[in-house]
């Protein structure tokens, strides 16, 4: 979820779902889970004389398919849902005044060789890298920073990096840690050089009213 937190395990953050009912004896409807019956069995084995009642199960609607009639590429409708913020080097989500969601970074690179080595330095939390809007790589946490080799088919090529904020630690010593800043926190390297002249598109995904489904 976009408002979820995460647990801290050393240098790794473990995203959690928005609900605090995960692994609970009752689900969010108040209905019993497998853990409930396991606890019930354990109590009966330890205290056989203890009276137990069968749990109440709430009525619910039958699960049915929800048809989705509209779809559109992010790149096709990008200009209708966000306006770019231009900077020399990438800015973090916090520097751009955004809290949750996604952040798209865009720049261009000239063809210098048949294959180019790219690296995202210090990014949080998950990235998808595109060349000319074609997906090239996905990296998550400890993978971010590894080399990404891409083919540049044109003399001038568009680079897009979609960064996903997967939740911040909301307790303990990492509460105000620098690692809780999201997005690209240092930069992007092409071979040995940092890339410049970036456009950033904030995508908090709080509303879909501006999405233009007529675009392809």
- C-alpha span between 99 and 108 (Å, rounded): 26
Please report where in the chains the tokens 């559109």 appear, as a residue.
72
Residue 62 has pLDDT above 70, yes or no: yes
Residues 6+ away with beta carbon under 8 Å from 179: 11, 13, 124
Phi, psi of 120 (to 5 degrees): -95, 120
Res 22: pLDDT = 77
Res 101: pLDDT = 94
Q: By mean pLDDT, which of 61-65, 79-83, 180-184, 192-196 is the weakest? A: 61-65
Residues 6+ away with beta carbon under 8 Å from 159: 106, 107, 108, 109, 118, 129, 130, 131, 188, 195
Res 171: pLDDT = 84
Mean pLDDT of 192-199: 98
**16-30 tens-digit pLDDT:** 887 767 788 998 888
- C-alpha span between 164 and 184 (Å, rounded): 10
The mean of the pLDDT values for the chain is: 93
DSSP string, 121-185: EEEESEEEEEETTEEEEEEEGGGBTB-EEEE--SSEEEEEEEEE---EE-SGGGTT-GGG--EEE
Percent of the chain at pLDDT exceeding 70:
99
Residue 178 has pLDDT above 90, yes or no: no
Mean pLDDT of 182-195: 97
Res 177: pLDDT = 86
Kindly state the helix (H) or strand (E) to which residue 15 belongs, with its residue range: strand 12-15
Residues 6+ away with beta carbon under 8 Å from 46: none
Two tokens at 139? 């990296």
> What residue spans define the domains of the chain?
1-215
- C-alpha span between 82 and 76 (Å, rounded): 12
Res 207: pLDDT = 87
Say whether 80 sits in a helix, a strand or coil: helix
Mean pLDDT of 129-133: 98
**65-123 tens-digit pLDDT:** 999 889 999 999 999 999 999 999 999 999 999 999 999 999 999 999 889 999 999 99
Of the pLDDT bands very low, low, confident and very high (cuts 50, 70, 90), residue 48 is very high
Res 173: pLDDT = 84
Res 18: pLDDT = 79
Res 1: pLDDT = 56
* CA-based nearest residue to 199, from 213, 184, 209, 211: 184
As its CATH architecture, domain 1-215 has Sandwich (2.60)
- C-alpha span between 79 and 59 (Å, rounded): 45
- C-alpha span between 164 and 136 (Å, rounded): 16
Phi, psi of 152 (to 5 degrees): -105, 105
**137-156 tens-digit pLDDT:** 999 989 999 999 999 999 99
């Amino acid at each position: 979820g976009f408002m979820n937190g995460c647990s801290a395990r050393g240098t790794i953050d473990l995203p959690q779902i928005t609900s605090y009912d995960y692994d609970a004896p009752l689900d969010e409807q108040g209905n019993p889970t497998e853990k409930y019956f396991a606890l019930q069995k354990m109590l009966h084995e330890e205290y056989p004389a203890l009276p137990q009642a069968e749990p109440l199960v709430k009525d619910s609607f039958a699960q049915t398919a929800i048809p989705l009639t509209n779809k559109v590429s992010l790149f096709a409708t990008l200009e209708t849902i966000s306006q770019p913020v231009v900077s020399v080097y990438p800015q973090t989500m916090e520097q751009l005044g955004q809290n949750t969601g996604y952040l798209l970074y865009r720049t261009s690179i000239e063809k210098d060789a048949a294959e180019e080595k790219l690296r995202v330095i210090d990014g949080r939390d998950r990235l998808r890298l595109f060349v000319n809007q074609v997906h090239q790589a996905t990296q998550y946490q400890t993978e971010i920073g590894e080399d990404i080799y891409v083919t540049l088919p044109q003399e001038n090529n568009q680079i897009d990096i979609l960064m996903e904020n997967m939740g911040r630690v909301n307790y303990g010593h990492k509460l105000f840690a620098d690692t809780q800043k999201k997005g690209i926190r240092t930069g992007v390297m092409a071979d040995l050089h940092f890339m410049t002249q970036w456009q950033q598109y904030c995508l908090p995904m709080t509303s879909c009213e501006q999405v233009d489904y007529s675009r392809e």
